[in-house]
Amino acid sequence: MSGHVTGEVEVRFTDSGVAVSRFRLTETPTHWDPTTQKWREGAQIRYICTAWRELARHTGESLTDGVDVLIKGRITDVRDNAIYLSVDDIGISLRQRIAYTESSLPSPSAARPMPVPCAASGVPRTATRQADAPPAWWQVQTPSD
């Protein structure tokens, strides 16, 4: 399922030191209304999610109120107008944001335009690429064995 985190993530530890996190997730499904020819929002679905061990630690560090996520898990209970989930995996939704991992953080120069000599005048200009051409890094060759 997918939805957005509602509120803060709570991380606690059992007596034996195992991390457990709990957070709320809200999903608002949409459906097509053929009469009005528009998308309509359905009733909100509330989830209460529980994650364990390293996943619990990572949720405490990574998730904040309002972040859209994708959840893989199983339903453990349905009560008090909420669905309780035991979470196996979580991913950040890329629909409305860019996410970086520790190993894929861009360098500080990534957003800086690079000067490229202009063929006609020899004067540097800002690098651009054609809209239908892949970026230069797409063509990088990997060493073969």
Q: Each residue of 28-37: pLDDT tens digit?
A: 998 898 999 9
Does position 127 have pLDDT exceeding 70, yes or no? Answer: no
Can you spell out the DSSP letters for 96-135? S-----GGGPPPGGGGSPPEEE-TTT--EEE----TTSPP
Instruction: Give the pLDDT of residue 97.
Output: 76
Domain range 2-97, its CATH number among 3.40.190.10, 1.10.1840.10, 2.40.50.140, 2.40.170.20: 2.40.50.140
Identity of the amino acid at 20: V
Across the chain, the runs of DSSP E, i.e. the strands, are: 2-13, 19-27, 30-33, 38-41, 45-52, 68-79, 82-92, 115-117, 124-126
Question: Cβ(53)–Cβ(31) under 8 Å?
Answer: no
**Domain coordinates of the chain in residue numbers?**
2-97
> Of 29, 54, 33, 55, which is closest to residue 44 (Cα–Cα)?
29
How far is residue 68's CA from residue 82's CA, in Å, rounded to a whole number?
18
Predicted confidence band of residue 95 (pLDDT cuts 50, 70, 90): confident
106 or 79: which leads in pLDDT: 79
Please, which residues have CB within 8 angstroms of residue 18's CB and are 6 or more apart in sequence? 52, 53
Measured over the CA atoms of residue 93, residue 99, residue 101 and residue 102, the dihedral's sign is negative
